[in-house]
Amino acid sequence: MVPKTFLLAGGGTAGHVNPLLATAAELVSRGHRVVALGTGRGLEADLVPAAGLELRTIPRASAPRRIGMDALRFPGRFRRAVKETSRIVDEVKPEAIVGFGGYVSTPAYIVAHRRGIPIIVHEANARPGLANRLGARWASRVAVQFAGTPLRGGEVTGFPLRPEVEELAVLKRTGRAGALRAGARAALDWPDDAVAALIMGGSLGAARLNGAVAEAIPAIVGHGIHLIHLTGRGKDEDAERAFGDLAAKHRRQYVVEEYRRDIAPAFAAVDAIVCRAGAATVAEVSALGLPALYVPLPVGNGEQTLNAAVAVEAGAATLIEDDQLTAAALTLRLEAMLLDVKTGRAMAAAARKIGIVDGAERLASLIEGVVR
């Protein structure tokens, strides 16, 4: 295919930036030029240049959630964002614009529509946000992670996984992840035959998860379970206290860290996961074939509960609402996933069945199909 230029719009959160980076890497590997559109303040400001991609920035213009000065300033900010996006589009001259949702995508969709440039929308959540609902009205193609996502013309491509996660998923599915698993466990000073789980609440952590783990950890390690607990930055106090209260012989079973930039070794080391249900997390956990307990973030429009629904219905995961999570409930669910071999295997098989490993490749092919 003749090389093309694509403008990929997404920023602010990892849920927008990571699939943008994975898709960009795939498009670049196919010989295309990719320019990212973001802001100078979100995660993209660091991650996009670090990935070797060109980043063009526009003013942040997120819609206010309540009446106040921000609401009064929003129309002017949004007009400036659209104006700057127009200038960037005229300079970059993309053959198509790809949006991943969020406030960065809305100006990109508006400018593309005005210029007659093809739009491709990728919606990761089961319940789409405002930006992608707008973009889908004008889009040439709409890619979704979940089949039931209510966007007209949505095509299931899955989620573009981070390259290191995709590589691990492929190795696990082909029975070649043994060396990575052994190495990850050796680095943690864990035996090869340990039963282990990863508990994480995202980079900001999750107070409910952290509290339940701190209370439950004596029972968890007492049953022989090993645990990696990612608390979130600045939120490890309760976990460190619980670690200190453990008998010395159990402490190597409980690994407490605030955050891991390279998450693949942690994924390789464990047999199950307890986490929130962001779209990216659900996609990665399913692709990796890990049994999961999802504790959806109890804010927003309920999209995290919907994101987890497919995995729960398939038997790949169970779900506990945030206000229902207790130390006892956490312990019982971990025991079911890790100590009941039949249950754990069935959940892992169900996760592999619904997980999509090649989301980046599928989305890149869909994008190319628009501009052939």
User: How would DSSP label each residue in 278-321?
Assistant: -HHHHHHHHHTT--EEE---SSTTSHHHHHHHHHHHHTSEEE--
Give the percent of the chain with pLDDT over 70. 96
Same domain (yes/no): 245, 367: no
Q: Does residue 301 have a pLDDT over 80?
A: no
Same domain? 152 vs 266: no
331, 215 Cβ separation under 8 angstroms: no
Helical ranges in 148-298 per DSSP H: 163-173, 178-187, 207-222, 237-245, 264-269, 279-287
Residue for token pair 């019982």: 332
Co-location of 127 and 216 in the same domain = no
Asked whether residue 108 falls in the same domain as residue 224, the answer is no
The torsion angles phi and psi of 105, rounded to 5 degrees, stand at -70, -30
Residues 6+ apart with CB under 8 A from 18: 47, 160, 162, 280
What is the model's pTM?
0.93
Above 70 in pLDDT, residue 64?
no
CA angle at residue 292 from 287 to 294, to 5 degrees?
115
Domain span including residue 201: 163-354
Average pLDDT over residues 59-73: 66
Question: In this structure, are 304 and 215 located in the same domain?
Answer: yes
User: 139 Cβ partners below 8 Å, 6+ apart?
Assistant: 119, 120, 121, 153
Same domain for 138 and 172? no
- Assess whether 270 and 150 both reside in one domain: no
Q: How far is CA 150 from the centre of its chain?
A: 20
What is the reported pLDDT for 261?
84
| Cα(317)–Cα(223) distance, integer angstroms | 21
Whether 91 and 191 map to the same domain: the answer is no
Are 169 and 263 in the same domain?
yes
Confidence at 203, pLDDT banded by 50, 70, 90? low
- Position 91 confidence tier, pLDDT thresholds 50, 70, 90: very high
The CATH code of the domain that includes 363 is 3.40.50.2000
Which regions of 93-209 does DSSP assign to beta strands (E)? 96-99, 119-123, 141-144, 154-156, 195-200
Confidence class for position 94, pLDDT limits 50, 70, 90: very high
pLDDT range class, residue 15, cuts 50, 70, 90: confident
Give phi and psi for 272, each to the nearest 5. Answer: -160, 170
Q: Are residues 125 and 198 in the same domain?
A: no
Claim to verify: residue 327 and residue 348 sit in the same structural domain: yes
Number of independent structural domains in the chain: 2
Confidence band, pLDDT 50/70/90 cuts, at residue 76? confident
Residue 83 and residue 171 share a domain: no
